[in-house]
Amino acid sequence: MKRALERHEAGTCHVIPILVHPAYWEDEPFSHLQMLPTGAKAITQWPDRDEAFEDVARGMSRAIKELLVSLKTSEKLFEEGEKLFDLKRYEEALVAYDQAIRLDPNLAFAYNKGDVLDALKRPKEAKHAYEKARELGYNG
């Protein structure tokens, strides 16, 4: 659980606690996360367990859709940054990369903004961006 929560905080996964049986969880390290089923009512306490499982499935589906939308948006912003970079519109490209990173701080290839920072004669910032990209596993 500790590793899963670390990955959640880093943005490399999304943890959704599911309460199957009644339990005291309010002081647990995951208590700040959105719990399923809705209202953090244990599945075994629902009058109809099928409805409880359906509620869990709907909650997970919502979370997946939200994640996909944010990734799609960050990737589109990255693509916009690439196009602006190719047009030598460096300041605008940097804004697009920064917006992509703000939406998804773990979008490794967006830290390719180091090229833009180099073009803008900002070598220290460029070096930091390249280091972050490598830290996240991007070797482009």
The pLDDT value given to residue 55? 97
Determine, yes or no, domain membership for 7.
Answer: yes
Contact 117, 99 (CB under 8 A): no
Best CA proximity match to 106, nearest among 1, 17, 7, 2:
7
Structure-token match 């460096």, residue found: 90
The pLDDT value given to residue 13? 81
Determine, yes or no, domain membership for 79.
Answer: yes
Domain count, the chain: 1
Provide the angle, in degrees to the nearest 10, between the axes of the packed helices 90-103 and 49-86: 170
Q: What does DSSP assign to residue 33? A: S
Domain assignment of residue 117, given as a range: 2-135
The one-digit pLDDT tens for each residue of the chain (140 residues) are 899 899 888 777 889 999 999 999 999 999 999 899 999 999 999 999 999 999 999 999 998 888 876 777 888 899 999 999 999 999 999 999 998 998 889 988 899 899 999 999 999 999 999 999 999 988 76
Q: What does DSSP assign to residue 35? A: P
CATH of residue 8: 1.25.40.10
Determine, yes or no, domain membership for 140.
Answer: no
The pLDDT value given to residue 140? 65
The pLDDT value given to residue 69? 67
Q: Per this entry, what is the length of the chain?
A: 140
Determine, yes or no, domain membership for 109.
Answer: yes
The pLDDT value given to residue 10? 76
